[in-house]
Structure 1
């Protein structure tokens, strides 16, 4: 049995938590960019774009993230494209998050009353002017709380990246448990660190919803 002190365990978990945070930020930023593009594609009047975004969102929402991670890591390797665990995890989580963010933002835009659209058109505003000056500012108030709330799911989703060898918080906990044979202590600390990462995001989502008066 390895002689690791409590501080050694906590220090190693904190070091691994850095990569959980970095991977979460990459997945959220990448998902936001792709999700925004998908949102505008879904809101367009072109049938091909609408069907593509529907297929995309249903595919990534309707399949387990674990399977997507396997396909990104092992599937690409079978096609002759060698990728690291880092790249595969970032790619899979980006695609996964983009599908959900696109649907969140589409729903927020469509929640704006039709009267707002009609009033903008009566003022002679074009589509982009209407979106920029009338629709998006209102949709943003609705979109911020669920977007921040979904970031919690991204943080927790990074735990599945351990299955392809990416050393983040969960993988580090498994390795430390194998070295110390103290699962209650190790995974108790892992759970505590996840809570400390996710709880502020959950509270921020609730506070933003109240501050922005979303229900009104």
Structure 2
């Protein structure tokens, strides 16, 4: 959840940068998004946890995981947010501008509320992917579900039961978030009769 919060926050900033009229700012955002989407998250976890100590920066495993997952999910979130913002009818921008409203007010009160409704399903997919991706954190010694199961495997030598149990735990967690996503979609849907 922490990585999703930071990833969404960074993603929003990247989306705004990507939509910027400044070619340099837009190019920086596009390059970051392309690079992060085209590189495995595990690589970033390894660089943060094993590589950064070589330049004198050391992260705890949990912090490296949070940073890695946040930076990775930010790229996906940025494209979802950008496409959601772009999908709002341009006439609404023009109407709000004609009323003399400031850009920040237009975004906060007109555009973002509508874009959020459109972004719920794909952002939920990013969250579910993050939840399942936490198993990668075991590779840098973060004691998450998969890592705990590996410890039990070493004691009990009952690999199949543990694999099934881990799968069920992830499925239950993801199911809870899916139910919440469905609730949010219904709450924010347009009711046209």
Shift, 1:39, TM fit: 2.0
2:139 paired with 1:163? yes
In the TM superposition, what is the alpha-carbon distance from 1:204 to its structure 2 partner? 2.6
Q: Structure 2 matches for 1:1-16, cutoff 5 A?
A: none
Higher relative contact order (CA 8 A, sep 6+): 1
Unpaired stretches in structure 1, ≥5 consecutive residues: 1-24
What does the per-residue CA deviation read over 1:79-100, in whole Å, with 9 as the maximum and x for residues that have no partner? 2212221121111011011111
Q: Alpha carbons of 1:184 and 1:215: their partners in 2 closer, same or farther (altered >3 Å)?
A: farther
**2:109 is equivalent to residue 133 of structure 1:** yes
Deviations, residues 29-66 of structure 1 (Å, cap 9, x unaligned): 21122122222222222222111111111111110111
Matches within 5 A, 1:1-216: 25-213=1-189
| SS of structure 2 residue aligned to 1:202 | helix
* Residues 142, 214 of structure 1: 8 Å contact kept: no
Question: In terms of mean alpha carbon deviation, does 78-87 or 169-178 score higher?
Answer: 78-87
Give deviations 1:124-166, integer Å, cap 9, x for gaps: 2232222122211211221233223321111111100111111
The answer to whether the Cα contact below 8 Å between 1:57 and 1:99 also exists between their aligned partners in 2 is yes
8 Å CA contact retained: 1:148, 1:204: no
Structure 1 position 210, deviation (Å): 4.0
Contact 1:149 1:205 in 2 (8 A): no
Number of paired residues? 192
Taking the aligned partners of 2:130 and 2:81, their CA distance within structure 1 comes to 16
Determine if contact 1:155/1:198 at 8 Å carries over to the other structure: yes
CA distance in 1, matches of 2:191, 2:143: 41
Partner Cα distance (2:105, 2:50) in 1? 45
Which whole-Å CA distance do the structure 1 matches of 2:190 and 2:161 have between them? Answer: 41
TM-superposition CA deviations, 1:67-126 (whole Å, max 9, x none) = 111111112122221222112111101101111111111111001011111222222223
Equivalent-residue separation in structure 2 for 1:132 and 1:114 (angstroms): 16
1:173 Cα deviation after fit = 0.8
